[in-house]
Amino acid sequence: MTVEPPAPKPRTPAQLASDKRQRKKIKPDDASKKRKKRYVEGASLKSNGKWTDNVTFPGREFDDLDEYRTAKKQHAARRSAYLDQTRMSRHGS
């Protein structure tokens, strides 16, 4: 006497959609191909090897982080000098 396994139950639309979502998950090989962007002190590394900060320096690229850090210090110095000047003109006259 042989016993046959029961026939599979029909799947609901929700189960079919779940199966489709699971098949679309990124495989580990594909995840390694996707490069993560590297961020340091607000600057991001572009694919050409240059650093950029589109918030503080829009449209400007830096060859290395030292150049970016120097520009950031100069920007802060200019900004503080401007703020000091506007404070004096407001309260001095």
Residue 20: is its pLDDT beyond 90?
no
pLDDT band at 28, cuts 50/70/90?
low
Question: Within 10 Å of residue 62's Cβ, how many Cβ atoms?
Answer: 19
Residue of higher predicted confidence among 15 and 83: 83
Calculate mean pLDDT across residues 48-59.
92
Tokens read off for 31: 């995840």
Residue 35: band (very low, low, confident or very high) from pLDDT cuts 50, 70, 90: low
Spatial CB neighbours of 41, under 8 Å, sequence gap ≥ 6: 65, 68, 69, 72
Q: Is the pTM of this model over 0.75?
A: no
For residue 17 the two structure tokens come to 């959609």
End-to-end, the C-alpha distance of the chain in Å comes to 108
